[in-house]
Structure 1
Amino acid sequence: MIEVKNLHKGFGDVKVLKGIDATFHPGKTSLIIGQSGSGKTVFLKSLIGLHTPEDGTISFDGRINTQFTDKQKQQWRQEIGMVFQGSALFDSQTVEDNIMFPLKMFTNQSYEEMLERVNFVINRVNLKNSNLKLPAELSGGMQKRVAIARAIVMNPKYLFCDEPNSGLDPRTAIVIDNLIQEITDEYNITTVINTHDMNSVMEIGEKIVFLKDGRKAWEGTSNDIFKTDNEAVVGFVYSSNLFKKVREAYLKETK
């Protein structure tokens, strides 16, 4: 579980995060949403330790990350998996080598042990027989699967995804959403996703944190978001006519 209490972060005179409280639970897909400039990217980077908060705490199963010793920090980093917006694969390395990279960096496993684990996660993300392919030989959706496989190869407790559906067509985006949710549930991972994709919100939003001007303006589930009368949320989520009609139909049925 990740607990965030009174989180503040700024850059110079610009205050970006202004006292955010949030809790993210194991086995749940938690989504951070908000307009550009709302603070969601800074929030995610603070969670993974790329930004140090000016005030407040972020704790991982009761451990406050800013209080870690160097040894504890190294251990914590091994508990984190990260799926980057652009997949961030090494272009000159094969699928197998990309996924094996964290194992080489953080473990003392033999090559045979590492390969066994790599093959396991390759099969788990439905990329069988892709070991020796280069990223350029893969579709965008397949590259995302490789990125997910690399993120889970260390069997992480915490999984962070930055715009995992960026650049994908709607059908492939749904496949990636479902894969992330399945893995989260299957391995009881605490998963936090930074996204602007409203389809993701509706499909896998077991918990949604809506940021506005650096503050948490609302939180709830994908079901709650249909019923909310929070003007900021309604204006953001239902700016699309499609989602507006879906919401109207939902409210009509539940009256």
Structure 2
Amino acid sequence: MIEVNDIHKSFGDTHILKGISTVLEKGKTNLIIGQSGSGKTVFIKCLLGLFTPDKGTISLDGKIYSQLSAREQRNLRQDMGMVFQGSALFDSMTVEGNVMFPLEMFTNQSRSEMQDRANIVLERVNLVDAHKKYPSEISGGMQKRVAIARAIVMNPKYLFCDEPNSGLDPRTAIIIDNLIQEITKEFDITTVINTHDMNSVMEIGEKIVFLKHGIKEWEGTKDEIFKTDNEAVTNFVYSSELFKKVRQMYIEERN
């Protein structure tokens, strides 16, 4: 679980985060949504420890990050897995090499132990015949699954995903969403997903935090988002005719 208490972050005279407080729950997919410029990227970088809030605290399972020593912070970062927007795979490494990279960096495991662990996570993301291929030889959806495998190879307590469906077709995006949710529950991870994809919100939004101009405008679940009267949320989520129709159907079913 990640507890965020009244965090603020500014760059020069620009106040980006303005007193955000929320709880990101363990074993659930926690989605951060909002328009470009809402503060989502700065928020997730604060959670990762890449930015230090000017005010407020971030607590990971009871440990306040800013109060930890440099060594303790470094150890805690090893409990964090990250899926980057563009997958961020190393082109010169095979799929297996990409997945083994964190193990080579942060463990003293033997080559065979690392390969065994890589095999386990690649099988978990349904990639069993791609070990010796290079990123350029596999599809975008497969690259994303490799990125997920690499993110979970160290058995993280926290999984952060930045626009995991970026560049994927709708069908593949749903597969990736479902995979992330399955892994979250299977390993009881605190998963935080930064997304613009409303399909993801409706599919796996167990906890949704909506940011607007650096403020937490609303939070709730994928079911509650249908019922909210918050104008900023409805304008963002139902900007397309499709989701307007989905919401109307939901309301009619409840009446």
Give me the TM-score of the superposition, normalised by structure 1.
Answer: 0.99
Letter in 2 for 1:208: I
Give the Cα separation in 1 of the matches to 2:161 and 2:34.
Answer: 15
**SS across alignment from 1:209:** strand
Whether 1:120 aligns to 2:132 is: no
Matched, 1:42 2:42: yes
Q: Percent identity?
A: 71
What corresponds to 1:190 in structure 2?
Answer: 190
Give the aligned partner of residue 163 of structure 1. Answer: 163
Task: Indicate the SS of the match to 1:23.
Answer: strand
Q: Where does residue 150 of structure 1 map in the other structure?
A: 150
Q: Amino acid of the residue matched to residue 138 of structure 1?
A: I
> What is the CA deviation profile of residues 49-72 of structure 1, one whole-angstrom value per residue up to 9, with x for unaligned ones?
111100000010010111111221
Measured after TM superposition, the shift of residue 221 of structure 1 is: 0.3
Whichever residue aligns with residue 18 of structure 1, its letter is K
Instruction: Say whether 1:93 aligns with 2:86.
Output: no
The equivalences for 1:234-245 within 5 A come to: 234-245=234-245
Cα separation, 2, equivalents of 1:236 and 1:73: 36
Q: Is residue 175 of structure 2 the alignment partner of residue 175 of structure 1? A: yes
The aligned counterpart of 1:83 is 83
Partner of 1:109: 109
Shift of 1:73: 1.3
Match of 2:52 in 1: 52
**Which ranges of structure 1 fall in alignment gaps of 5 or more residues?**
none
Corresponding position: 1:11 with 2:11: yes
Paired amino acid for 1:102 = P
SS of alignment partner, residue 57 of structure 1: strand
Question: In the aligned structure 2, how far is the partner of 1:66 from the partner of 1:111?
Answer: 35
Structure 1: distance between partners of 2:218 and 2:46? 20
CA distance in 1, matches of 2:70, 2:44: 22
Give the Cα separation in 2 of the matches to 1:103 and 1:67.
27
Equivalent position of 1:140 in the other structure: 140
The residue number in structure 1 matching 2:201 is: 201
Partner Cα separation in structure 1 for residue 220 and residue 70 of structure 2:
36
Deviations 1:33-59 (A, max 9, x none): 001111011101111011110000001
**Cα RMSD after superposing both structures:** 0.5
Q: Take 1:164 and 1:217, find their aligned partners in 2: how far apart are those partners?
A: 23
Q: Which runs of 4+ in 1 moved over 4 A?
A: none
Offset from partner CA, 1:72-126 (integer Å, 9 cap, x none): 1121011000000000000010000000000011101111111110000000000
Please give the alpha-carbon distance, in whole angstroms, between the structure 2 residues aligned to 1:70 and 1:103.
21
> Could you state the TM-score of these two structures normalised by the residue count of structure 2?
0.99
Q: Give SS of 2:182's match.
A: helix
Question: Per-residue CA shift, 1:163-183, capped at 9, x if unaligned?
Answer: 000000000000000000000
Query: Partner letter of residue 188 of structure 2?
Result: N
Q: Structure 2: any 5+ residue segments left out of the alignment? A: none
Cα distance per residue 1:128-150 (max 9 Å; x no partner): 01110000001000000000000
Q: What is the identity, as a one-letter code, of the residue corresponding to 1:240?
A: S
| Structure 2 equivalent of residue 131 of structure 1 | 131
Amino acid at match of 1:98: N
How many residue pairs get aligned? The number is 255
- 1:242, distance to aligned residue in structure 2 (A): 0.2
Tell me, what secondary structure is at the counterpart of 2:155? coil
| Separation (CA, whole Å) in 2 of partners of 1:73 and 1:44 | 16
